Amino acid sequence: MLTYVIRRILILIPMLLTISFLVYTALELTPGDAVSALINPEVASRLSDAQFAELREAYGLNKPFIVRYGIWLSNVMQGNFGHSLAGGVPISTIFLDRLPATLELSLVALLFSTVLGCILGTYSALKRGSITDSSLTVVGMIGVSIPEFFFGLVALLIFALNLGWLPVGGRLLPGYETIWDRVPHIIMPAMVLSLMMTAGVMRYARSSMLDALTREFITTARSKGLPEWRINLLHGFRVALTPVIVLIGFRLPLLIGGSVIIEQVFQWPGIGNEFIGAVRGSDYPLVMMIALFSVFAVLMASLIIDVLTALIDPRVRLS
Amino acid sequence: MAGTQDVALSVKDLKTYFYTNNRCNKAVNGVSFEIRKGKTLCIVGESGCGKSVTASTIMQLLPKLSRIEQGQITYHSDDGDVNIEQLDRDGKEMRAIRGSEIAMIFQDPMTALNPVYTIGFQIGESLKYHTDLSRSEIRAKTIDLLRDMGISLPEMRVDDYPHSYSGGMRQRAMIAMAMSCNPKILIADEPTTALDVTIQSQIFELMEKLKTENETAIMLITHDMGVVAELADDVAVMYMGNIVEAGTVDQVLRYPVHPYTRALLESIPVLGRGRDQDIQPIAGSTPDPYDRPKGCQFAPRCKFRVDACDVMPDEVTYNETHRVMCWRYQEFLPDAE
């Protein structure tokens, strides 16, 4: 088991290197650079080419592409993430500020969608063909097919503006500090963020469960005289769970990608919100670090999923 | 007929129908038989003749779209008779019988065990629900059971998952599971079809041992006549949902009186007779269950068909244990030849 985990971690290194290079290249290809973004167009029109060149030199933007990539990479490996071009704040500080909020949102959404999706999907499978099953199928379809930001705006309109039950956005009001003060703020963004994933997990758990219930070991379990709940949950659901966990692993990137938009809609002070600002301001170093961090998060998530599947399904441990 | 005290289970005029796409498949269409204590009843027949459905009906393990239409399944327990067909399908009484009084082993041990639980856990489950044993007693008993079934190092193997067992070992584990609560009846639905021949004989030896040691009544479903000759005390031959001939193994195999049984026996190649032996396949194929012949179900394929066969013959019990469903059986009686 330990060698399995170590091997999985070692595989991550070349992956991260490749992706960091791709991210750096992609950003290099975007039009405009930090200098043209930083400087007010009115001021820029009065600057001479020599002054531009001077500014580019100051920011290290005139060196060849590969060299800049090399410098950047070696800095990152030494833990020096560089500074944001806008304002000169160290990127590590930005991460420390913003990361907890994003993790909080993603984890709550992940937990919520997994638990709710599994419960609803299993229930749906057990009551196959009932009205509840059919309505859940319809709700699931709607959930999968409508984009999150739309749900976000509708939820804001209904629950925050019309009903006034929940705050419009933000993470915490000034002067409030307890956990319970945070709850009303996180409910809406987390629900909206997890909606699509809940629907997906639900549909998948349903079909996986239906599949498991037709397997022969279910008949064996029944022939032993076990009660129905034990047959369904211990024998059926346990086997149905493995593919569901793999699906959740594949969906994790969606959660991270989705949180960029949802953070914007709900003014959630997380990494995603910062990311949009950085892209708009052509803040290269920050965009790269956030992109790289997202990649890292996705790879870590897939590692966790692999370990989890190995724990749940004894057959995986062998290979 | 044997006295009731020797009988573990009697089935009378049982009909099990399947309903799919608004059509009715009369899978089991009026069968009667008895399973005697400490004896083996073999049910033989082609695929789709209703053997397995009969077995699942006894355990009430039928799929949702099927039901017992008619008839009685009487389990003669030590505390009086139980009419299984009247019990709630997954109700408490039925669950108390399953696994504890009547146990079942299945055709394919590869799929019949849950891949994510250890063998020990799966055998222990039966004990947990049918006995008052404590956790450690269950474990000890599970290990004993595995040892009895001829699994080496049971103390270690008990914690293994099914995928690290071979096919034969899995079937042994299945039998250990089925025998864990000393059931009065063991139903084996083609238990060796998925195993190779050497393992097959080991499994049958094991079942034979259980039968003599524990007085377990065995209902063995098979389509292998060799197995029947070796193991059976009683034989019932099924065709399209009916028992066309039943009797002791001697009567049925030595003096078959139903044309189907005779045809079945003639269609078996015998090892050692070489490649030019005279094998008579049964002409035609089994009819579509939704489009059955009017009278005797075997008539369209039967060499001895007469006009009377357009009407279903009654079951005739022509001596104490041997019965048959055929209009012309008298012509095949041993003394007629």
Chain B CB within 8 Å of residue A239 CB: yes
Catalogue the E-assigned strands of chain A: none
Mean pLDDT per 10-residue segment, chain A (319 residues): 80 86 79 64 73 74 80 80 75 81 84 91 88 88 83 82 75 66 78 85 90 90 89 89 83 74 82 83 78 82 81 68
**B125–A226 C-beta distance less than 8 A:** yes
> How far is the C-alpha of A257 from the C-alpha of A255, rounded, in Å?
5
Q: What local confidence, expressed as pLDDT, does residue B140 receive? A: 93
Selecting from B111, B112, B129 the residue whose C-beta is nearest the C-beta of A225 gives B129
| Maximum alpha-carbon separation in chain A | 88
> How far is the C-alpha of A98 from the C-alpha of A266, rounded, in Å?
15
Least confident of A281-290, B17-26, B128-137, B197-206: A281-290
Q: What local confidence, expressed as pLDDT, does residue A27 receive? A: 72
> How far is the C-alpha of B272 from the C-alpha of A55, rounded, in Å?
97
Name the residue in chain B with its Cα closest to that of A214.
B63
**A215–B90 C-beta distance less than 8 A:** no
> How far is the C-alpha of B98 from the C-alpha of B58, rounded, in Å?
10
CA-based nearest distance B334→chain A, Å = 42
CB count within 10 Å of CB B257 equals 25
Least confident of A10-24, B128-142, B224-238, B267-281: B267-281
Name the residue in chain A with its Cα closest to that of B97.
A225
- Reported as a single tens digit per residue, the pLDDT across B251-267 is 888 888 898 988 888 88
Selecting from B94, B100, B163 the residue whose C-beta is nearest the C-beta of A315 gives B163
> How far is the C-alpha of B212 from the C-alpha of B227, rounded, in Å?
17
Q: What does DSSP say about strands B66-77 and B80-83: parallel, antiparallel, or unpaired? A: antiparallel
User: Mutating which of A127, A223, A237, A241 best tests the B interface, going by the most B Cβ atoms within 10 A?
Assistant: A223
* Cα–Cα separations (whole angstroms), residue B162 to B152, B172, B180: 15, 11, 18
* Cα–Cα separations (whole angstroms), residue B189 to A188, B54, B164, B239, B244: 55, 10, 24, 17, 20
Q: What local confidence, expressed as pLDDT, does residue A252 receive? A: 76
> How far is the C-alpha of A43 from the C-alpha of A49, rounded, in Å?
13
Give me the half-sphere count of Cα atoms (radius 13 Å) on the Cβ side of residue B40: 23
Q: What local confidence, expressed as pLDDT, does residue A36 receive? A: 65
> Chain B 269-298, CB below 8 Å of chain A: which residues?
none
Decide: pTM greater than 0.90. Answer: no
User: Mutating which of B90, B110, B114 best tests the A interface, going by the most A Cβ atoms within 10 A?
Assistant: B114
Cβ atoms of A248 and A107 within 8 Å: the answer is no
Q: Is the pLDDT of residue B102 over 70?
A: yes
**B174–A239 C-beta distance less than 8 A:** no
**A216–B116 C-beta distance less than 8 A:** no
Q: What local confidence, expressed as pLDDT, does residue B337 receive? A: 47
Least confident of A294-298, B161-165, B239-243: A294-298
At A59, which helix (H) or strand (E)? helix A49-59
Q: Which letter, b or e, does each residue of B71-101 get, where b requires 16 or more Cβ atoms within 10 Å of its Cβ?
A: bbbbbbeeeeebebbebeebeeebbebbbbb
Chain A CB within 8 Å of residue B62 CB: no
Q: Is the pLDDT of residue B146 over 70?
A: yes
Q: Give the 3-state secondary structure of residue B169.
A: helix
| Maximum alpha-carbon separation in chain B | 67
User: Mutating which of B58, B66, B98, B125 best tests the A interface, going by the most A Cβ atoms within 10 A?
Assistant: B125
**A215–B111 C-beta distance less than 8 A:** yes
The pair of structure tokens assigned to B54 is 């009969």
Percent of chain B beyond pLDDT 70?
98
**B111–A217 C-beta distance less than 8 A:** yes
